[in-house]
Amino acid sequence: MENNQDGANLHTYIFIGRSGCGKGTQVEKLAEHLTEKGVISTEHPWLRVETGARFREIAEMSGYTAQMLKVAMDHGDRLPDNFAIWTWSSLLFDKFTGVEHIFCDGCPRSLLEAQALDLLLKFYNREKPVVVYVDVSREESKRRLLERGRPDDQSEDIDRRLDWFDRDVLPAVEYYRNNPKYRFLEVDGEQTRDKIHDDLVALLVL
């Protein structure tokens, strides 16, 4: 949280967790909570930075890159960091006006991406961002994804996604956990949605 030029306190949140942990739900619940508290307002709205939804949009387009992207996503492969960095960078370049609260939903997805985001947040003078790690076990993540039953949620594809989370995303989690420039919060994601939200709000006010 920091002061911008007009003195308003702005929040920056980075939500990370395994697929199926409920990051998106917790982003929405926290935004609703902050709106009720008057923190999020018409003067200072919130900007959601999400790469997954944008990837899915691109995959439905025509062109060689879109086709390759769709194949990779259908197989549960990790996409190059270039795509993710370009996606959230372009969104911030286009949409961010300096008065919004920023919510990063499911990004960054690697240590390199975390370091790139670090540079951009520094450029925007966003100090002490809050990192929310919604922790669910690999087994629970797989159970939820199989139960969800999406076309790309086949057992082998899920295993590949969970493998790259352990290999590539967890180093980003540890980067944030051990970085004094960030406030790192870990919540138990194997609870009800409301309990996760309540735990998060309690940690935020400490």
Q: Domains in the chain, ordered, with CATH?
A: 2-52+81-137+169-205 (3.40.50.300)
Count of helix runs (H) and strand runs (E) in the chain: 9, 7
Model confidence band, residue 78 (pLDDT cutoffs 50, 70, 90)? confident
- Cβ neighbours of residue 93 under 8 Å, at least 6 residues apart? none
Is 10 a residue whose pLDDT tops 70?
Answer: yes
Top-confidence range, 70-74, 153-157, 179-183: 179-183
How deeply is 135 buried, as exposed, middle or buried, from its count of CB atoms within 10 A (0-12, 13-18, 19+)? middle
Q: What mean pLDDT do residues 37-54 have?
A: 93
Average pLDDT, the chain: 91
Q: CA 89 to CA 67: how far, in whole Å?
A: 22
Q: What is the structure's pLDDT at 8?
A: 44
pLDDT tens sequence across 114-168: 999 999 999 999 999 999 999 999 999 999 999 987 776 788 888 988 999 999 9
CA dihedral 22, 105, 111, 154 (to 10 degrees): 50
Q: What mean pLDDT do residues 84-104 have?
A: 94
Q: What is the structure's pLDDT at 3?
A: 40
- Percentage with pLDDT > 90 across the chain: 71
pTM metric for this prediction: 0.90
Q: What is the structure's pLDDT at 4?
A: 44
Q: What mean pLDDT do residues 174-181 have?
A: 97
* Beta-bridge mates of residue 135: 188
Is 173 a residue whose pLDDT tops 60?
Answer: yes
